[in-house]
Structure 1
Amino acid sequence: MKLWNLVVLGATLVLAGCTSTETATERNAQYTFPELEQVYSIDNFRMDGWEEVDKYTIIVNSRPRESYLFVLSGGLIDLRFAQGLLVTSTLGKVEVGFDTVSTPQDPMLKAQIKRIYRLKDKAEKEAIKQKIIAFADIEDKEADNKSTQ
């Protein structure tokens, strides 16, 4: 009887792992934007403002008329209510896969910067925001459907 319980537990853990990997793969595909110019670092970075798009993305303004979309490795739930944003950098340079984003309310909860895209103008900025908001709406509806089943 105990052996059977271990087999069932093992199978459950494997399925849960596959589900979370599938979700991460789907999210990775959603937050890839081939239509945007991807950069791997920003030199002489000075943040001049920011806005949360969803818990996985933020738009950071740097210098006049220069904006970047940061795609984060994990979601920061408190971004919507954050009074500020903390972005690590080394000697003024922000790098993909190395630097992180957090909030002053919870500076120990950090998300690594997974991708950076340069946003050319306001039109591109608004278009990408609408695309990301559409992702979030779909995810919310799917989560609601799962919880009611």
Structure 2
Amino acid sequence: MTTESPADPTSPNMPSSSSQESLQSSTPWNPEKRKQLATFMDAWGQEMGQYPYEDVTDISVGLPIIYQARDVLDVGYSEDKPTNHEYTIVATYQYRWNIKAYHRYHFALKRDGSPVVLYSGSAVIVYNSDNTVNSPYNVMGETENQDLKDAFAKIVYSEN
């Protein structure tokens, strides 16, 4: 089983600012791109021996995201339009191999429209003093998996 540790999301890995300007005039995310990502995640999961990757976007909405165990990220969720947040998560996929262990990827667009893939190996549960659950949250960082970053960027910057 492949493991991964988060990297820093401030490192640019995609097109220049002029390419990003043309992205702003097109739709950065839409149902067709969502289908392309689903197809990619299905094939990639099989290739990685981590099948199936499930779309868990609906259950991830609203979970706070802690960046590298330090800062709460300014995150919004949208399947079809940008938000005013620092990161807009457009899809979330995970592969779970037991109840507490999984690979979870949040596919997001930064405020400037550039794509980023955030990774978490598990959710952290915060308990109240009476042992009830206070709030689960994800401790995440940018994925180090270049194939995943490149595939998402290719989908985002495509003409569809």
Q: Normalization by structure 2: what TM-score?
A: 0.29
Larger radius of gyration: 1
Higher RCO (CA-CA < 8 Å; seq separation 6+): 2
